[in-house]
Amino acid sequence: MSQEIAGSSRKRQRRSVADRNSSSRVPDRLKFNVGGKIFETTKTTLANAASSSFFSALLNDRWNSDTDEIFIDRDPKCFGALLNLLRTGELCIPGSVTKDFFYKEALYYGLEGHLQAAVRGNLNGNLLRLSHFVSVSHAWEKGNIIRASPNGGLCVAHGNVVRTFDSWNVVGYPPICLNKDNRIYDILWCDSRNVMITTSRRDVALLNLVTGELSHCISSGIVKSSRPLIFKTLCMHSDHRNEVFSGASFEDTGESVGVEIWDPTRGKLTSSIHWTDADGYGSIRTLHWVSWMNCLLAIIHRASGDLVLLTIDPRENSCRFRFRKFLHKPVRFVEGAVDESGNNICLMDQCMNVVIFDSRNQHLNSWSVSKDACNVALSGTNSRLQSIHCYRGQLYACTRSNIFVLSGSDWVITSKVRSIGGSICDISIGGDRLFALHNDPDVINVWETPRP
């Protein structure tokens, strides 16, 4: 009797294992019929794809397929190359396939990130290589703004014209033209297809990059004032993509009066945060979302040359705390940036001296780059500092003729590259690429770090 009970128990265990295996609809080996050609691979290979990819659903236990073969009506040559990319991380585009067509196939499968990682490594300012040039054709005004998307796409403003470029070959889409008397102040990437712009006609607009369609346009803000307001700087919440912040200023003086919060998906302004001060705060230079503080940082310049750091809590619709005149040095600060990797705020003056603000201790550390060394580095006629950017623990400082890279805990200059073209008017970083916009002629330098 005991033997029969034990045998019955083993049978029930085997049936239970079989039921669990049968409940998983995805076998370890998968067979694809792509355009009439058969491919066979494993779940391990497909698991290398991103969670948002075409293949992620195949790894779900709830996948229901009554056939042993999955048919995909796409190009088989591209599918084979992309499958090898998942297996080895190496890219080999078939000779009979153009790069643009291959990129479109990678987009279909959601593998554009793997494509990017295969052709270039993580951006390292000390190992930059000039990849190629992009000419901005028919630019009847000089470029003034360049913004890179997180995946390496590009958006450039020339007066009242917006030009956008894809993230693979940096090939331009048809230009988007605003009214002739309008001028673009700032550009913000909302997603892979849409950008938000602020203009001199007091507009905040959402544009589709490919079609040029105007999705939403807000011409009046929530901040109430008897004097006309303009909205220049833009910033997006890093976690909540439906929150975009725009700085509001008086049109006649440029004096900042507050920040407005806009929902780009609905095309509506949702709330505002405004302040009043007898002395005036000055002009908002940049806005940054500081994720480790969960607040908005406004870097404000005053006419006297003083710098104001204003941290804003949008949940409370109020300023959390503020710093003013915290430096007693006879210098004028030009730009600020947020170092997410080190939880610091970096400030730089006209001589490329750097101040690191530690928000956790609410005090400023000592100067980390000597003025003498910086003056030597900045000697020349085109030495005026334009802007700075923090990316993966490095600081990129742009003058009109060079791009300096500062690294390490002391933020010392470790590299300098001379971008080719006319004067540099702006730089931007995205998708492990550094873009430099030049004038006379209008050309974009694309810098990358080769794969090891």
| Averaged pLDDT score across all residues of the chain | 77
Q: What is the pLDDT of residues 382-413, one digit of tens each?
A: 567 888 999 998 999 988 888 999 988 778 88
Query: Is beta strand 29-34 parallel, antiparallel or unpaired with respect to 69-72?
Result: parallel
How does DSSP classify residue 172?
A: B
CATH of domain 129-448: 2.130.10.10
* In contact, 245 and 234? CB cutoff 8 Å: yes
Q: Mean pLDDT over residues 204-208, rounded?
A: 84
- Determine the number of helices (DSSP H) and then strands (DSSP E) in the chain: 6, 31
**Residue 47's CB: how many other CB atoms inside 10 A?**
13
More confident: 207 or 67: 207
Indicate the pLDDT class of residue 371, thresholds 50, 70 and 90.
Answer: very low
- Would you say residue 273 has pLDDT above 70? yes
What pLDDT is stored for residue 408 in this prediction? 84
Of 20-34, 47-61, 251-265, which gets the smallest average pLDDT? 20-34
- Would you say residue 351 has pLDDT above 60? yes
H-assigned helices in 97-192 = 99-109, 112-119
Q: Mean pLDDT over residues 230-249, rounded?
A: 85
Q: How far is Cα 68 from Cα 31, in angstroms, rounded to an integer?
A: 7
* In contact, 389 and 429? CB cutoff 8 Å: yes
> pTM for the whole thing?
0.80
- Would you say residue 253 has pLDDT above 50? yes
What pLDDT is stored for residue 49 in this prediction? 87
What pLDDT is stored for residue 365 in this prediction? 42
What pLDDT is stored for residue 366 in this prediction? 39
* Percent of the chain at pLDDT exceeding 90: 17
CATH class of the domain comprising 29-120? alpha beta
- Would you say residue 23 has pLDDT above 80? no
What pLDDT is stored for residue 80 in this prediction? 94
What pLDDT is stored for residue 17 in this prediction? 45
Q: Give ∠ CA 85-87-92 in degrees, rounded to 5.
A: 30
- Would you say residue 125 has pLDDT above 90? yes
Domain ranges for the chain, please list them.
29-120, 129-448
More confident: 437 or 331: 437
- Separation in Å, CA 233 to CA 80, 285, 326: 45, 7, 23
Phi, psi for 24 (deg, rounded to 5):
-80, 110
Q: Mean pLDDT over residues 178-188, rounded?
A: 84
Both tokens assigned to 128: 């930059």
Tell me if 29-120 shares its fold with 129-448: no
